[in-house]
Structure 1
Amino acid sequence: MPRSLGTAALACLVQVASFGAASAAETPWPAFGHDSSNRNFSELTQIDRDSVGRLRPAWVFQTGVTGYFQAQPVMVAGTLYVSTTQNNVAALDARTGQPIWTYTHKARTEKIFGPPSNRGLAVSGGLVFEATMDGRLIALDAKTGKIAWDKEAVRPEEGESETASGLAATLGGKPVQGSSRLGFKMPPLVVEGLVIVGVTGAGYGLHIEDEAGGLDGGAVVGIEGGYGRRGWLAAYDAMTGEERWRWYVTPSEGWEGGFVEKTADGTPLHRDIAAEKAAAPANRDAWRVGGGSLWMTPAYDADLGLIYLGTGNPAPQNFGLSRPGDNLYTMCLVALDVKTGTLRWYYQQVPHDEWGYDVAAPPFLLDLPGGAKAVASASKTGWIYVHDRATGRLIARSAPLIDQKNLFSPPTPQGTVVAPGPLGAVSWPPTAYDGRRAYVQVRHGATTYTVKTVPATAGRPEIRYTETGEARGEPSFSTLTAVDLGDGGKIAWSVRSASRLSGGTLATAGGLVFSGEEDGHLDAHDARDGRVLWRFQCGAGISGPAMTYALDGKQFLAVAAGGASFTKASGFGTGDALLVFALPD
C-alpha cells in the first residue's frame, strides 16, 4: 500500500538488483534537462540498441503521493533527488533506492493554480532548491534535508478578484473562480550564484473549476475584462534567498506593441485590427492584469551571459478585445541578461494570441553545421523555431509537425475549428536533442473556439467569453517525431503512439529515444527510424521526462509514474512510483 513520504520508515522500497562496492566514478544528471543547455541528452552508451531489450527494474520508490507526478529526478554525488506533486522531496541512494532523508512540505495555503504538480528540483553548492505551488522558494541542505532558507516569493491568492454576482449560474452551473492564482511549477535554474524561477497562473482571468477543483478538460474560459495576473521571472541569491532582480512579462509601457497582420515568419493572423484600435482607449491599463505565465526552466549560455525562456498567453485567455495590440511580451521566446534581468531580444511567435499557444516547452541550445550558435523552441503552433542566440534572428522554422487547420482563425459565435488547440502540438514537456535531431512528443488534434454572450441583467453588465471544446470528427492522436535541425528542419520520421504521449523525451548516445505514454508505458525507440525496441508498463501514466546516470560503471534509467492531468478522462489510474531500471549483472 502507498504510504506517506514523511520519513524513511514510511517509504516502500522494492529492490530487485544488487550492486558492487562504491566507486568515485560517476556520470551525474545534475539539473533539469541534464544541464543548462536543456538538451535532455546523455553521452552514456551502456544501454543501447542492442542491450535495451534486457533492461529491467533495478528498484522502485513509492512516494505515497499519487497523481501528477511530473518531476524529472536529478542525481549528484551518488544521491538521487526527486520531488512530488505536493512539493515533498526525497533523497535516495542512487544505487539502491534506499532513502537517505525526506522533506514533507507544509503548504501555507490551499489556494493554488490548477492541479497540484511540481516538475523538478535543482541541486547546486550543497543545497537542493525547490519552487513550490504555494509560491515559495526553498533551499534544503543536500546532506540532511533540513531547511537552509525559505522565501515566500508570492501569495497565490494575492490580488484575487471576486466573482461577479450570479456569474456561476450563467456558465453551465459550474463554480467560477476569480482571477488566477500565482505559484511555481518549473524546476529552478541555478547559475552565477542565482536561483532563477518564474510563476504560472498569470494568463487565465476568470475560469470554471472542474470536478477536481483544478483546471482541466477545457475548464478555462477567457472572460472579457481585467481578471488576469501579471507574470514574472525573478532571480534570488542562492545562499540567502534574497531577490536580486525581477522581470515582468507584460511591461507597464509599450505592452500593446503594434497591430501586426502577420506573424514575424509571415503567417496571417486574421485579426480585426479596426475593432482592436476602437477598444484601445478604454483598455490602456490592461497591462496590470496582462498575463504571461512561465511554464518551464530557461536555458543558459554562459559565454553570452543570457538566459532563454518561453512566455505564456495574455489575459484574458482566448478573448482579445479587452487587451488590444500585440500584447508584449507574451507568447515570446525572450533572452534576458542573467545578472540584471534586462531584456536583450524577443521573438513573438503569436501576437495577440486568442488560442492559448503558450511558448511552454523549455528552449534548448544547439550548434548548427558551420558553427552557428543557436537556441530552439518547439511550439504549440506546430513548428520548431531556431534562432541566433546573440540576436534572436530567426535562422529556420521546421516543417510543420502536424496538419494545421484554420491556424490563427479567431473564435466566433458559430464556433471555429482550429488545429492545433490549446494543448498544442507541443506543450511544456521537454524536447531531446542529440546534436542533429530533435525528438518531440506531438499532439495532433483540433479544438472548437466559440464566443458566447450572457445578456445583461439588473446590476450586471453583459458578459462575453470564449469557450473551448472538442472538435467532433477531427482526428486526435500523438506521435513521436524526429526533426533534423541540421538539415533545415525536415521531418526525419514520425511514429504514431497507441495512447497519448506525455512527459517529454530523453535521447542517449546509445542510439535511443525514451518516451512515456499516458497508459503507463515507457518506450525506447531506435533514434534512426523510431522503431520501438523495448516497452515497460510502469503501472500509471508517465507525465514527466526520464533521465539517466551512471555509478560504478553501471548505467541507470529513472522515470516517475503517477498518471497525468487527463487520467480520469482517459480511463487510466494514478500512481506514486519512481522506477529505476538497469541491465542485469
Structure 2
Amino acid sequence: MKRDATNPARALAAVLLVLLAPGAHAADGGQDWPAFGRDASNAHHSPLKSIDRGNVAGLRPAWIFQTGITGYFQAEPVVVEGVMYVSTTGNHVAALDAKSGKVLWTYTHKARTEKIFGPPSNRGVAVSNGLVFEATMDGRVIALDAGTGRLVWDREAVRPEEGETETASALAAGLGAKPIQGSSRLGFKMPPLVAEGLVIVGVTGAGYGLHVEDEKGGLDGGSVVGIEGGYGRRGWLAAYDAKTGEERWRWYVTKEDGWEGVFAATTPDGLPLNRDIPAEKAAADKHREAWKVGGGSLWMTPAYDPASGLIFLGTGNPAPQNFGLTRPGDNLYTMSLVALDVRTGKLRWHFQQVPHEQWGYDVASPPFLLEARTPEGSVKAVAQASKTGFIYLHDRATGRLLSRSEPLITHKNLFAPPSPEGTVVSPGPLGAISWHPVAYDAVSNRAFAQVRHGAATYTVKTVPASGNRPEIRYTETSEAKGEPTFSTLTAVDLGSGKAAWSRKAGSRLSGGTLSTAGGLVFSGEEDGHLDAHDAATGDILWRFQCGAGIGGPPVTYAVDGRQYVAVAAGGASFTKASGFGTGDALVVFALPD
C-alpha cells in the first residue's frame, strides 16, 4: 500500500465499491465503533438495532475495500466520527470513509526485519486524540496522524530476532526435510489499549515452539514442537506515552522471585493436573533461572475498568512449549488472568487457570467486563473464556472466582501429560476458545462464543546425539486421528453457567462474535461465510459468502442513521491444508433502500 492522501483517484484504484442506493435510516442515529471491543469493557456488543431479526435477511454488500495483500487479514476495524481505520497484513493501515468506502489515506509499513513470529497478521489499531496507534510484528509501536496518515512517532520496542539459539536449527536437522516455521521471536499482534494517556500492548512469540508443516503443506494440520531446555523468551506488557512514545512501565509475565509457586496439584477450581510434583521439586535447584526464558505471550487487548484503574489480560503458555521437565513449578504468571494497575503496571491479583501447563492452553480470548448476578447481589466482574472450554467469572477487585460455566466441549484425558507412546487429549492447542473475542449481551446475560471441538496427540520424542550436538528431547503435538473435529456457536447463560443453545457450524468458526440490540449474533466461518444468528434461539437468519475465510471479528456502526456491519475476509488460518482460499477484502454490509 502507498500513502497518497492527495491523489484520490490513485487510492481508489485499490478499492472495489459495490454501492447500494442510500438506504433505510436507523432510528437510533449514528454511532461509532471507536475501540477494540467497541469500548474498554471488551463486550463486543452494540446497542444498534436497525438491523434486526425481522429484516436481517435483506442485508447486502454496501462496499468492499480490497487491501491488495492476500491472506492473514485478522483486523477488527475501528470507526470514529464516520471514518474507519483498519490495519492489514504486513501492518499497513488505511483510513476509509465509513459510509462509502472511499480511501482517505493509506500508510505503508516498512518492516525492519523479516524475522517475525508466525504469519504477518495484525489484529487492529487504536484511535485516540487525533492519533492512530499500531503495534507491529517487527517489534515497533507507532503513532499516525488520524487526518493524514503521517507518521508521528515510531518506537522500537523489541527486535524479534534477539536472543535466538541454535537449537531450532539442530532440531530441524533432526526432523529431516519437513518445512519449519516459528521460534521465540517477539513481536505484536494485539490491538493496543489506550487509557490514561498510555498506549498499552504486549508481545507474542515468547512461548518457544516450532511449527512443522504436514504432508499437505499446512501448519494447523502438522505439529507443534516444544523443546527441552531454556530456549524461550520472557513475555511482557508495556505502556508507552501516547504523545511521545516513551516507555512508562513494563510488566514481565514470568515472576523473577518464586515463579515455581506452590507446586499446585490441581487447578484453582479443583481439576487434577496429574503432575509428578516430587520429580519437579527434585529438579528445581537445577532450573532456578528458567523464568528468564519462561514464555508467556500476550495475544489480545486487555479490558479496562476506569473506576478501579485496573486492566485485565490473559497470559500465554510457559516455555519450553508443551515440555515441562526443565521448568519445574507452577511457572507464574503464565496461563493466568491478571489484573494490573493501569498507571504503574503493578500486579494486583492473578488467577492461574493451568499451573505448569503443557498443552497449549493460552489464556488468549480477551477478557470482558460485566455486572455479575450472584446470590449476594450484583458484583463488578471480569469474565474470561478459556481454551479448556470454560467461561470463568471473577470479582474485578480481588480476582475471587465467582463461578465457572459448565464445560462447553467434551473433555478427554484433560491435563494428562505428554508421553512417549502419545497421549490423546481434548481439547488440543487450538481451543475450545482461542484468541477470538466473545460477545456479551448484558440484557440477556448471555455470552456468545465460537467453540472448537477437537483433540490432539502429545508425544515425547528424542533426536539422538550427533557429532557435537547433544541429544534433544521434545514434545510433538499433532491432530489426533479419528477424533471428531467441528465448531459450535454456543450461547452461555452467565447466571446459571449453562449453554442456552449451541449450533454446529458447517466449517471451523473463526474471528470472534458480535452481538447487537437487534437480537442478532454475527459469527464468521473459515469457509468464508458470515452468519447472522437469532440471539434467542441460535437459528441462522442470514449468511453471505465473502469469498475467503473470515479472519477478524465483525463490527457494526451507523453513519447518517444507516447501520452497517463490517468484517475482514482474507483467510482465517495460516494453513494451506484448510481447503479454503485466501483473500484481501474488508466487506461492509447494509440494508437496501
Q: Structure 1 length as normaliser, TM-score?
A: 0.96
| Aligned match of 2:117 | 113
Answer whether contact 1:68 1:563 (CA < 8 A) is retained: yes
Q: What is the rounded CA distance, in whole Å, between the counterparts of 2:123 and 2:15 in structure 1?
A: 22
Q: How much has 1:166 moved relative to structure 2?
A: 4.6
SS at match of 2:452: strand
Q: How much has 1:549 moved relative to structure 2?
A: 0.4
- Which string of whole-angstrom CA distances, capped at 9 and with x for unpartnered residues, describes residues 159-209 of structure 1? 111237753231143355784100000000001100000000000155547
2:438 pairs with 1:449: no
2:496 pairs with 1:488: yes
Q: Alignment partner for residue 203 of structure 1, among 207, 213, 225?
A: 207
CA spacing shift, 1:56–1:567, aligned 2, 3 Å: farther
| Aligned match of 1:548 | 556
Q: Alignment partner for residue 481 of structure 2, among 463, 472, 479?
A: 472
Q: What is the rounded CA distance, in whole Å, between the counterparts of 2:181 and 2:527 in structure 1?
A: 31
Q: How much has 1:457 moved relative to structure 2?
A: 3.2
CA spacing shift, 1:54–1:311, aligned 2, 3 Å: same
For 2:83, the aligned partner's letter is: T
For 1:389, the aligned partner's letter is: R
| Aligned match of 2:390 | 383
Q: What is the rounded CA distance, in whole Å, between the counterparts of 2:570 and 2:564 in structure 1?
A: 20
Q: What is the rounded CA distance, in whole Å, between the counterparts of 1:325 and 1:79 in structure 2?
A: 49
| Aligned match of 1:575 | 583
User: In terms of mean alpha carbon deviation, does 309-318 or 280-289 score higher?
Assistant: 280-289
| Aligned match of 1:128 | 132
- Which string of whole-angstrom CA distances, capped at 9 and with x for unpartnered residues, describes residues 368-407 of structure 1? 2232110000000010010000000000000100000000
CA spacing shift, 1:179–1:50, aligned 2, 3 Å: closer
For 2:412, the aligned partner's letter is: K
Q: What is the rounded CA distance, in whole Å, between the counterparts of 2:418 and 2:310 in structure 1?
A: 37
Q: Alignment partner for residue 524 of structure 1, among 532, 555, 558?
A: 532
Q: How much has 1:12 moved relative to structure 2?
A: 2.0
Answer whether contact 2:300 2:366 (CA < 8 A) is retained: yes
Answer whether contact 1:206 1:228 (CA < 8 A) is retained: no
| Aligned match of 1:539 | 547
| Aligned match of 1:396 | 403
Q: What is the rounded CA distance, in whole Å, between the counterparts of 1:351 and 1:331 in structure 2?
A: 7
Answer whether contact 1:446 1:470 (CA < 8 A) is retained: yes
Answer whether contact 2:267 2:355 (CA < 8 A) is retained: yes
| Aligned match of 1:64 | 68
| Aligned match of 1:429 | 436
2:301 pairs with 1:297: yes
Answer whether contact 2:211 2:222 (CA < 8 A) is retained: no
| Aligned match of 1:408 | 415
CA spacing shift, 1:213–1:390, aligned 2, 3 Å: farther
2:103 pairs with 1:102: no
Q: What is the rounded CA distance, in whole Å, between the counterparts of 2:146 and 2:169 in structure 1?
A: 49
For 1:159, the aligned partner's letter is: G
Answer whether contact 1:234 1:247 (CA < 8 A) is retained: yes
2:279 pairs with 1:275: yes
CA spacing shift, 1:165–1:420, aligned 2, 3 Å: closer
2:326 pairs with 1:314: no
SS at match of 1:276: helix
CA spacing shift, 1:289–1:255, aligned 2, 3 Å: same
CA spacing shift, 1:66–1:175, aligned 2, 3 Å: closer
Q: Alignment partner for residue 337 of structure 2, among 329, 333, 339?
A: 333
Answer whether contact 1:525 1:534 (CA < 8 A) is retained: yes
- Which string of whole-angstrom CA distances, capped at 9 and with x for unpartnered residues, describes residues 298-326 of structure 1? 00001110000000000000000100000
- Which string of whole-angstrom CA distances, capped at 9 and with x for unpartnered residues, describes residues 26-80 of structure 1? 2010001100000000000000000101111111111101101100101001101
Q: What is the rounded CA distance, in whole Å, between the counterparts of 1:279 and 1:295 in structure 2?
A: 30
- Which string of whole-angstrom CA distances, capped at 9 and with x for unpartnered residues, describes residues 230-284 of structure 1? 0000000000000000000002111111211100000000001122112211111
For 1:460, the aligned partner's letter is: R
| Aligned match of 2:53 | 49
SS at match of 1:357: coil
| Aligned match of 1:231 | 235
Q: How much has 1:20 moved relative to structure 2?
A: 8.5
Q: What is the rounded CA distance, in whole Å, between the counterparts of 2:231 and 2:326 in structure 1?
A: 10
Q: Alignment partner for residue 425 of structure 2, among 409, 418, 430?
A: 418
CA spacing shift, 1:131–1:215, aligned 2, 3 Å: farther
Aligned pairs (5 A) from 1:122-161:
122-161=126-165
SS at match of 2:358: coil
| Aligned match of 1:438 | 447
| Aligned match of 1:254 | 258
2:244 pairs with 1:244: no
SS at match of 1:241: coil
CA spacing shift, 1:199–1:19, aligned 2, 3 Å: same
Answer whether contact 1:15 1:96 (CA < 8 A) is retained: no
CA RMSD of aligned residues (A): 2.0
User: In terms of mean alpha carbon deviation, does 90-99 or 176-185 score higher?
Assistant: 176-185
Q: What is the rounded CA distance, in whole Å, between the counterparts of 2:514 and 2:441 in structure 1?
A: 9
- Which string of whole-angstrom CA distances, capped at 9 and with x for unpartnered residues, describes residues 109-151 of structure 1? 0000001100001000000000000001110000000011111
Q: What is the rounded CA distance, in whole Å, between the counterparts of 2:317 and 2:167 in structure 1?
A: 21
CA spacing shift, 1:166–1:70, aligned 2, 3 Å: closer
CA spacing shift, 1:215–1:243, aligned 2, 3 Å: farther
Q: How much has 1:214 moved relative to structure 2?
A: 9.8
- Which string of whole-angstrom CA distances, capped at 9 and with x for unpartnered residues, describes residues 323-382 of structure 1? 000000000000000000000000000000000000000000011223211000000001
For 1:459, the aligned partner's letter is: N
Answer whether contact 1:204 1:220 (CA < 8 A) is retained: no
Q: How much has 1:548 moved relative to structure 2?
A: 0.3
2:17 pairs with 1:14: yes
Q: What is the rounded CA distance, in whole Å, between the counterparts of 1:360 and 1:308 in structure 2?
A: 12
SS at match of 1:34: coil
User: In terms of mean alpha carbon deviation, does 262-271 or 369-378 score higher?
Assistant: 369-378
| Aligned match of 2:188 | 184
5+ unaligned residues in a row in structure 2: which ranges?
5-10
SS at match of 1:422: coil
Answer whether contact 2:197 2:241 (CA < 8 A) is retained: yes
Q: What is the rounded CA distance, in whole Å, between the counterparts of 2:569 and 2:302 in structure 1?
A: 24
Q: What is the rounded CA distance, in whole Å, between the counterparts of 1:298 and 1:470 in structure 2?
A: 30
Q: Percent identity?
A: 75
Return structure 1 stretches of 4+ with deviation > 4 angstroms.
Answer: 4-7, 20-25, 175-179, 205-216
Q: How much has 1:16 moved relative to structure 2?
A: 1.9
Q: What is the rounded CA distance, in whole Å, between the counterparts of 1:117 and 1:165 in structure 2?
A: 24
SS at match of 1:27: coil
Q: How much has 1:488 moved relative to structure 2?
A: 2.4
Q: What is the rounded CA distance, in whole Å, between the counterparts of 1:375 and 1:361 in structure 2?
A: 13
Q: How much has 1:219 moved relative to structure 2?
A: 3.9
User: In terms of mean alpha carbon deviation, does 111-120 or 271-280 score higher?
Assistant: 271-280
Q: What is the rounded CA distance, in whole Å, between the counterparts of 2:62 and 2:20 in structure 1?
A: 5
Answer whether contact 2:213 2:221 (CA < 8 A) is retained: no
- Which string of whole-angstrom CA distances, capped at 9 and with x for unpartnered residues, describes residues 453-496 of structure 1? 222233222211000112111100000000000x2211100000
Answer whether contact 1:71 1:544 (CA < 8 A) is retained: yes
Aligned residues: 581
| Aligned match of 1:459 | 468
Q: Structure 2 length as normaliser, TM-score?
A: 0.95
